[in-house]
């Protein structure tokens, strides 16, 4: 809110509406649709968890946000993470059937773009993307040990037909951040 006036219209602004954690009830609200519009936001992001306790409440939260955002013409980008038990604790799944389910939830709730974990395989992710009538982007993926590994992963993401990828830890984790961004953009087929 304190910086948006300097960048509105020049830098795309996607505001995260809320945060939630597997195994913990409730949401940590950050912003509402009208606040995002007032800040000049270009879209609102909504994190939800599926395939776990609370799934129906999460879906309702997403569909409510979609309906509210439609009044303002504000795109909604859910970040949908399927949660499965792993070693006795909730864990984000990258299994193709779980990712396909997550994408379908986003589509059916009315999302404009869906962000989901990458399956780790261009062919399986491509199968999901090819039958989805809205853009699908990947979460940045697991932390790669080297920039070359991150570049290879994003080349696979691009080959899958994904609309792109959101990358955080695989940018900030390398010493030359501008160089990492340039290489990752090129891997996705974007102009440097």
Assess whether 51 carries a catalytic annotation. Answer: no
Distance separating alpha carbons of residues 125 and 122, to the nearest angstrom = 5
Assess whether 60 carries a catalytic annotation. Answer: no
Nearest to 10 by CA among 34, 42, 32, 38: 42
Options 27, 51, 60, 81, the catalytic residue: 81
DSSP code of residue 23: T
Q: Which residue has the tokens 């602004």?
A: 13
Residue 28 φ then ψ, to 5°: -105, 100
Nearest to 48 by CA among 3, 1, 108, 95: 108
Distance separating alpha carbons of residues 156 and 80, to the nearest angstrom = 20
Options 51, 115, 143, 152, the catalytic residue: 115
Residues with catalytic roles: 81, 115
């Amino acid at each position: 809110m304190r910086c948006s006036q300097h960048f509105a219209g020049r830098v795309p602004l996607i505001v995260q509406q809320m945060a939630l954690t597997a195994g913990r009830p409730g949401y940590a609200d950050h912003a509402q649709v009208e606040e995002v519009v007032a800040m000049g936001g270009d879209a609102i992001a909504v994190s939800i968890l599926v395939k776990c306790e609370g799934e129906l409440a999460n879906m309702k939260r997403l569909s409510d946000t979609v309906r509210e955002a439609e009044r303002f013409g504000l795109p909604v980008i859910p970040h949908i993470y399927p949660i499965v038990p792993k070693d006795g604790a909730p864990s984000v799944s990258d299994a193709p059937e779980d990712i396909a389910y997550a994408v379908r939830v986003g589509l059916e709730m009315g999302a404009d773009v869906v962000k989901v974990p990458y399956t780790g395989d261009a062919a399986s992710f491509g199968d999901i993307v090819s039958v989805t009538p809205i853009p699908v982007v990947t979460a940045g993926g697991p932390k790669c040990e080297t920039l070359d590994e991150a570049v290879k992963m994003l080349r696979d993401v691009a080959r899958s037909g994904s609309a792109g990828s959101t990358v955080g830890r695989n940018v900030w984790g390398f010493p030359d951040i501008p160089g990492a961004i340039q290489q990752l953009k090129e891997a996705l087929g974007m102009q440097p």
